[in-house]
Amino acid sequence: MRLLITRPEPDAALLADELRARGHEAVIAPLMAIAPRPFAFETEGLAGVLFTSANGVRAFAEMIGTPPRGIPVYAVGPASAEAARAAGWGEVTPAGGDVHSLAALVADRVAPGAGRLLHLSGKAAAGDLAGDLSARGYDVARVIAYEAQAADALPALAADALNANRLDGVLLFSPRTARLYAELVAAAGLSDAAGSVTAYCLSQAVADALGGLSRTPKKVASAPETGQLLALLSP
């Protein structure tokens, strides 16, 4: 299959390698760029660090460097957990792929009075993890560690591939990316062309965010995990 990758780098290149290993063709056209933001980090009284994306892990590594010892990490899913382990965090536990499962994981593993929790996220975050945990009695602070900056036009590689009918599918991992894809495709006058390109969506919320691309076929992963999304692809 010929597939459009909309993820920011470096995730786009990693995903392209995975797709090619499975026999697919990949067109890399990120719709957002990740820009780290400065933040402070204190370990005293910290009961855990919460990551809702691999980008948060990378932003920590760029700003702070070597992770502190003895502080557990609770990650939203397998990809962010893998990134945390690769960055040198010792105790890493993944949740089921969304902020609701991450909040439930924390509630199961950490007592509300055990100490402060730190959520490192992007400027635009899915859900309200800090609010959910605060309502459960936790002392949790959200720190914005990076910003995903949106493209102002559909990348040329994506536009050319759509216009030439060279795509079978597009992979979409977040509602924000899906909305942006729909908006940029419409602005480029390529909504009709996108109608023949299947949108492979990480969740139903991602599929719903496609909005005006009503003719676009949509397939939704059985769980919000990259492996389940790739399982939707034909060999």
Q: Is residue 235 part of a domain?
A: no
Q: Is residue 101 part of a domain?
A: yes
Q: Is residue 175 part of a domain?
A: yes
Cβ atoms < 10 Å from Cβ of 99:
22
- 108 and 48 in a single domain? The answer is yes
Q: Is residue 225 part of a domain?
A: yes
- 164 and 182 in a single domain? The answer is yes
Q: In CATH, what number is assigned to the domain containing residue 162?
A: 3.40.50.10090
By residue range, what is the domain housing residue 116?
34-148
HSE of 122, CA atoms in CB hemisphere, 13 A: 19
127, two tokens:
């859900």
- 25 and 56 in a single domain? The answer is no
Helices 54-63 and 78-86, interaxial angle, to 10°?
Answer: 20
- 141 and 203 in a single domain? The answer is no
158 membership: H or E segment, kind and range: helix 156-163
- 26 and 38 in a single domain? The answer is no
d(CA 88, CA 84): 7
Q: What is the pLDDT of residue 235?
A: 58
Q: What are phi and psi of 38, to 5 degrees?
A: -65, 145
pLDDT, averaged in runs of 10, over the chain (235 residues): 95 95 96 91 92 93 90 94 95 92 96 94 83 94 92 97 96 94 96 96 94 91 90 83
The domain boundary, picked from 105, 120, 148, lies at 148
- 77 and 113 in a single domain? The answer is yes
Q: Structural domain tally of the chain? A: 2
What single-letter DSSP state applies at residue 166? -
